Amino acid sequence: MTQSVVVQVGQCGNQVGCRFWDLALREHAHVNKTGVYDDALSSFFRNVDSRKSDGGACGFGGRIQHLKARAVLVDMEEGVVNEILQGPLSEVFDSTQLLTDVSGSGNNWAVGHMSYGSVYREQIVDKLRKAAEHCDCLQCFFLIHSMGGGTGSGLGTRVLSLLEEEFPEVCRIVTSVYPSPEDDVITSPYNSVLAMKELSEHADCVIPVENQSLVDIVNKIKHMSDGGKPGLTIRKDSSIISGQGGLRGAEKPFDAMNNIVANLLLNITSSARFEGSLNMDLNEIAMNLVPFPRLHYLVPSLTPLYTLADVSVPTRRSAVWLPMPLYLPHSCCDSCRAVYYS
Ligand SMILES: Nc1nc2c(ncn2[C@@H]2O[C@H](COP(=O)(O)OP(=O)(O)OP(=O)(O)O)[C@@H](O)[C@H]2O)c(=O)[nH]1
Ligand SMILES: [Mg+2]
Q: Per residue in 191-208, pLDDT tens?
A: 999 999 999 999 999 999
- CATH number reported for the structural domain that contains residue 151 in this entry: 3.40.50.1440
Q: Which of 59-63, 160-164, 242-246, 314-318 has the highest mean pLDDT?
A: 160-164
Q: How far is the CA of 23 from the centre of ligand 2 (A)?
A: 23
Instruction: Band the pLDDT of 249: cuts 50, 70, 90.
Output: very low
Per-residue buried b or exposed e for 46-72, using 16+ beta carbons within 10 Å of the residue's own CB: bbbeeeeeeeeebeeeeebbebbbbbb
Q: Count CB neighbours of 263 within 10 A.
A: 22
| Interval 270-310: pLDDT, tens | 888 887 776 677 888 888 889 888 899 999 888 766 555 44
Domain count, the chain: 1
Instruction: For residue 332, give every residue at least 6 positions away whose Cβ sits within 8 Å of its Cβ, in sequence order, or none.
Output: none
Q: Which of 54-58, 119-123, 151-155, 174-178 shows the lowest mean pLDDT across its residues? A: 54-58
| Residues 316-342, mean pLDDT to the nearest whole number | 40
pLDDT at 38: 87
Alpha helix (H) ranges present in the chain? 10-31, 39-42, 79-86, 109-110, 117-119, 121-133, 156-166, 188-202, 211-225, 255-273, 283-289, 324-330, 334-341
46 has a pLDDT exceeding 60? yes
Instruction: Band the pLDDT of 62: cuts 50, 70, 90.
Output: confident
Per-residue buried b or exposed e for 307-333, using 16+ beta carbons within 10 Å of the residue's own CB: bbbebeeeeeebbebbbeebeeeeeee
Task: Name which residue sits closest to atom 31 of ligand 1, judged by CA.
Answer: 12
| Residues 94-123, mean pLDDT to the nearest whole number | 95
| Residues 115-130, mean pLDDT to the nearest whole number | 97
296 neighbors 206 (Cβ within 8 angstroms): yes
Distance, CA of 100 to CA of 120 (rounded, Å): 10
pLDDT at 206: 96
Closest CA to 114 of 171, 164, 76: 76
- What is the SS3 assignment for 215? helix
108 neighbors 154 (Cβ within 8 angstroms): yes
Instruction: Band the pLDDT of 250: cuts 50, 70, 90.
Output: low
**Residues spanned by the domain of 272:** 3-341
What is the Cα 208 distance to its own chain's centre? Answer: 12
Residue 304 preceded by cis peptide, ω within 30: yes
283 lines ligand 1 (CB under 6 A): no
- What is the SS3 assignment for 255? helix
| Interval 141-189: pLDDT, tens | 999 999 999 999 999 999 999 999 999 999 999 999 999 998 989 999 9
Q: How far is the CA of 268 from the centre of ligand 1 (A)?
A: 23
3 lines ligand 1 (CB under 6 A): no
229 has a pLDDT exceeding 70? no
pLDDT at 149: 95
Instruction: For residue 238, give every residue at least 6 positions away whose Cβ sits within 8 Å of its Cβ, in sequence order, or none.
Output: 225, 308, 309, 310
148 lines ligand 1 (CB under 6 A): yes
Mean pLDDT of the chain: 82
pLDDT at 238: 53
231 has a pLDDT exceeding 60? no
Share of the chain above pLDDT 90, in %: 54
Atom number of ligand 1 nearest to Cα 10: 19
Distance, CA of 228 to CA of 235 (rounded, Å): 11
Q: Which position has the higher pLDDT, 335 or 316?
A: 316
156 lines ligand 1 (CB under 6 A): no
57 neighbors 81 (Cβ within 8 angstroms): no
Q: How far is the CA of 177 from the centre of ligand 1 (A)?
A: 8
pLDDT at 321: 53
Distance, CA of 340 to CA of 152 (rounded, Å): 32
Instruction: For residue 320, give every residue at least 6 positions away whose Cβ sits within 8 Å of its Cβ, in sequence order, or none.
Output: 300, 301, 302, 303, 340, 341
Instruction: For residue 77, give every residue at least 6 positions away whose Cβ sits within 8 Å of its Cβ, in sequence order, or none.
Output: 11, 100, 101, 102, 103, 104, 151
pLDDT at 52: 66
| Residues 92-96, mean pLDDT to the nearest whole number | 92
Distance, CA of 238 to CA of 278 (rounded, Å): 27
